A and B are shown apart, each in its own frame.
Chain A
């Protein structure tokens, strides 16, 4: 019975039907299943299947993004339940991401967020045109271990350096790993501004985040 409920939830993720996932999660809660079990034996199983299919070339970006949406919407239902029980989800790491101030390019950054979420990271996406102060406030609030900054313009790349400087000034730099990305950004730029790593694309960003968290990859 238990297996059936959780398999059903996992299947809705593989099939890419967010409403069905949320419905399955609600039913499981009503039946008295523990939120952590629903996550680990249902949602995570589905995400792992999709993730593996993607690596094998058996499914594609739309499937991946829709699966992430299944996960995200389910977590909105589950988080209040976890709080009630004073429980937390074990994640691969907490990541704050955003596109830097003065820059409104969103797609690449969102894709990175999705890929990180699919791979078990807890992602706090601040959106676009994010000020250094907003990044710092969110890192403080969440206790994030990773920061990902996107910049698509040569004129806004420099803001990445500015954020790192402010992290240093606030005495936070030693507690957070910084990843940078975006079309004009290169590994040598990352070096130059004192970031911890650079990835070319969303897939690369996952590997980088895992390395920085010491998860191998």
Chain B
């Protein structure tokens, strides 16, 4: 639990952000490219123009949604243990998701990710203590792209125990993914009681709910599968260039999503989230490891908390193409600030190149950065009656602290002990170990970490059922068998 907090918005600014967002929802309103959602909104009192598919949402509708949306909810592990309390004071981390490439350690270049890469990735996440949730990290290129969304969840479900942050690319994809999750949970009701996945739902900037996004959002609400709004204002291109202007857009997008969601089913779990970015005016790119992006990230979290909702943002990635100083600096900046902001869930670690590419090595180093940030965020604690007086008056003037029981009793709580991915030995030890950089040490740690991996205990008949469900979809796309998973290869 984080003790230290960083606040970037004054309370009066937050109020003005929300006030302006409410005005935006009334004029010009939001674009909703989904007839069913427009029906819902109209019935609830929104002014709907069917020609332009624009809904003008009055403030009382928003207030109602804010009242019914839960302030907290849980995500469970596959074996039914509560792991993540969205909306608590704890900040949780999951890897960035939906990478289209993987950084190949041997070549230092990006390549298409395959099933085996995702299997290894999911297992690694299981073994890294500072990662609290899985994500459907790669879009595997050895299956047809039309089933890319559900296939990555299928692979993950075969190996994961931690809850998962995922998302669907089509309506049919969402339905199959729900089916997979309910099979693993035991039934649809059981999944509703103990959700083990949350779906990212991404509106299109500015102020557009596409048919697919709307459908996903409404399906999540109807089935009480937690939804995470991932609004992505791109300051200067698809959102106002002023940072606070982008925060207003983020707020309006999230509030309108919240209304559609709560109108579908009041009380369904939902997260106030995003993946905002500013625009690099030299390259037209959307940097995540940027100080102005970070400010928007933190501001959106503050607005969400002010409104009493669990929060999410996207931090801890780099825009560089290799695991160098830029990668380390941008990732540490993001992770540390996310902790200080106190977001519920932070996605993004492991990623490089504007969230395009995932790296196993970066994931391991980033997990360590989360450890650093968590230790820093937990601040300083008064451990005993006196801060230092007793210790300085006992056996005074002696540098014998290393042998004091006081040291033995407190050092593990007070000090941070990093994993071997961090170099803190002598020059000689570093040279003896091959004179490596952190990402190379991370690569060497992979086999050791994978050895610690424990199978998730999903019974064989459930695995067969998952396989049958996914094969049914695969056949529609001309694939008559699925790539083999690891255990089958070994068997």
Q: In the bound complex, what is the Cα–Cα distance between A62 and B407 (angstroms)?
A: 7
Nearest chain B residue, comparing its CB with the CB of A111? B402
The answer to whether A200 and B408 touch across the interface, beta carbons within 8 angstroms, is no
CB distance from B399 to the nearest CB of A (A): 5
Determine whether B411 belongs to the interface, using a CB cutoff of 8 Å to chain A: yes
B384: chain A residues at CB < 8 Å are none
- Which of these, A16, A57, A107, contacts B405 with CB under 8 Å? A16
Determine whether B420 belongs to the interface, using a CB cutoff of 8 Å to chain A: yes
A107: chain B residues at CB < 8 Å are 399
Nearest chain A residue, comparing its CB with the CB of B415? A60
CB distance from B428 to the nearest CB of A (A): 5
CB distance from B103 to the nearest CB of A (A): 28
Per-position 1/0 for A53-96, Cβ under 8 A of B:
00001001111011011000000000000000000000000000
Determine whether A204 belongs to the interface, using a CB cutoff of 8 Å to chain B: yes
Determine whether B468 belongs to the interface, using a CB cutoff of 8 Å to chain A: no
Q: In the bound complex, what is the Cα–Cα distance between A174 and B379 (angstroms)?
A: 56
The answer to whether B408 and A63 touch across the interface, beta carbons within 8 angstroms, is yes
Sample of 17 A–B contacts (CB below 8 Å): A60-B411, A61-B402, A62-B407, A62-B408, A62-B411, A66-B408, A68-B403, A69-B403, A106-B399, A107-B399, A200-B427, A200-B428, A200-B429, A203-B426, A203-B429, A204-B426, A204-B428
Determine whether B417 belongs to the interface, using a CB cutoff of 8 Å to chain A: yes
Q: Number of contacting residues on A, CB 8 A?
A: 20
A69: chain B residues at CB < 8 Å are 403
Nearest chain A residue, comparing its CB with the CB of B406? A62
B407: chain A residues at CB < 8 Å are 62
B404: chain A residues at CB < 8 Å are 62
Nearest chain B residue, comparing its CB with the CB of A63? B408
Q: In the bound complex, what is the Cα–Cα distance between A199 and B403 (angstroms)?
A: 23
A199: chain B residues at CB < 8 Å are 428
Q: How many A-B residue pairs have CB under 8 A?
A: 38
Given known A-B contacts A16-B408, A203-B429, A204-B428, A62 and B403 have beta carbons under 8 A apart: yes
CB distance from B158 to the nearest CB of A (A): 31
CB distance from A3 to the nearest CB of B (A): 27
Query: How would you classify the secondary structure of chain A's contact residues: helix, strand, loop or mixed?
Result: helix
Determine whether A201 belongs to the interface, using a CB cutoff of 8 Å to chain B: yes
Interface residues in B405-448 (C-beta closer than 8 Å to A) = 405, 407-408, 411-412, 417, 420, 426-429
A57: chain B residues at CB < 8 Å are 420
Nearest chain A residue, comparing its CB with the CB of B412? A60
B411: chain A residues at CB < 8 Å are 60, 62
Nearest chain B residue, comparing its CB with the CB of A204? B428
The answer to whether A201 and B417 touch across the interface, beta carbons within 8 angstroms, is no
Q: In the bound complex, what is the Cα–Cα distance between A62 and B410 (angstroms)?
A: 10
Known: A65-B403, A106-B399, A203-B426. 5 other contacts (CB 8 A): A17-B405, A63-B408, A200-B427, A200-B428, A200-B429
CB distance from B397 to the nearest CB of A (A): 12
Q: In the bound complex, what is the Cα–Cα distance between A57 and B408 (angstroms)?
A: 15
Per-position 1/0 for A196-210, Cβ under 8 A of B:
000111011000000
Q: Number of contacting residues on B, CB 8 A?
A: 15
Given known A-B contacts A57-B420, A62-B408, A63-B408, A201 and B426 have beta carbons under 8 A apart: yes
CB distance from B368 to the nearest CB of A (A): 14
A106: chain B residues at CB < 8 Å are 399
- Which of these, B399, B403, B412, B426, contacts A200 with CB under 8 Å? B426
Top 10 closest pairs, chain A to chain B, by CB: A200-B426, A65-B403, A65-B402, A62-B407, A200-B428, A62-B408, A201-B426, A69-B403, A16-B408, A107-B399
The answer to whether A60 and B426 touch across the interface, beta carbons within 8 angstroms, is no
CB distance from B398 to the nearest CB of A (A): 10
The answer to whether B405 and A66 touch across the interface, beta carbons within 8 angstroms, is yes
Nearest chain A residue, comparing its CB with the CB of B428? A200
Q: In the bound complex, what is the Cα–Cα distance between A76 and B401 (angstroms)?
A: 22
Interface residues in B367-396 (C-beta closer than 8 Å to A) = none
A65: chain B residues at CB < 8 Å are 402-403
Interface residues in A164-217 (C-beta closer than 8 Å to B) = 199-201, 203-204
CB distance from A159 to the nearest CB of B (A): 22
Given known A-B contacts A106-B399, A200-B428, A201-B426, A60 and B405 have beta carbons under 8 A apart: no
A60: chain B residues at CB < 8 Å are 411-412, 417
CB distance from A185 to the nearest CB of B (A): 13
Q: In the bound complex, what is the Cα–Cα distance between A30 and B427 (angstroms)?
A: 49
A68: chain B residues at CB < 8 Å are 403
Nearest chain A residue, comparing its CB with the CB of B402? A65
Q: In the bound complex, what is the Cα–Cα distance between A110 and B399 (angstroms)?
A: 10
A200: chain B residues at CB < 8 Å are 426-429
Q: In the bound complex, what is the Cα–Cα distance between A17 and B408 (angstroms)?
A: 10
CB distance from A113 to the nearest CB of B (A): 12
B405: chain A residues at CB < 8 Å are 16-17, 66
Q: In the bound complex, what is the Cα–Cα distance between A204 and B426 (angstroms)?
A: 9
B429: chain A residues at CB < 8 Å are 200, 203-204
Q: In the bound complex, what is the Cα–Cα distance between A203 and B433 (angstroms)?
A: 15
Interface centre among A57, A62, A65, A199, by most chain B C-beta atoms within 10 angstroms, is A62
Per-position 1/0 for A106-137, Cβ under 8 A of B:
11001100000000000000000000000000
B402: chain A residues at CB < 8 Å are 61-62, 65, 111
A111: chain B residues at CB < 8 Å are 402
Q: In the bound complex, what is the Cα–Cα distance between A16 and B427 (angstroms)?
A: 30
Q: In the bound complex, what is the Cα–Cα distance between A200 and B426 (angstroms)?
A: 7
Q: In the bound complex, what is the Cα–Cα distance between A3 and B412 (angstroms)?
A: 32
Q: In the bound complex, what is the Cα–Cα distance between A61 and B402 (angstroms)?
A: 7
Q: In the bound complex, what is the Cα–Cα distance between A107 and B402 (angstroms)?
A: 10
A66: chain B residues at CB < 8 Å are 403, 405, 408
Nearest chain B residue, comparing its CB with the CB of A106? B399
Q: In the bound complex, what is the Cα–Cα distance between A61 and B428 (angstroms)?
A: 19
CB distance from B307 to the nearest CB of A (A): 45
Nearest chain B residue, comparing its CB with the CB of A68? B403
CB distance from B416 to the nearest CB of A (A): 12
CB distance from A53 to the nearest CB of B (A): 13
CB distance from A49 to the nearest CB of B (A): 16
Q: In the bound complex, what is the Cα–Cα distance between A131 and B405 (angstroms)?
A: 33
Per-position 1/0 for A1-13, Cβ under 8 A of B:
0000000000000
Nearest chain A residue, comparing its CB with the CB of B411? A62
B428: chain A residues at CB < 8 Å are 199-201, 204
Q: In the bound complex, what is the Cα–Cα distance between A76 and B406 (angstroms)?
A: 24
Q: In the bound complex, what is the Cα–Cα distance between A60 and B428 (angstroms)?
A: 20
Nearest chain A residue, comparing its CB with the CB of B403? A65
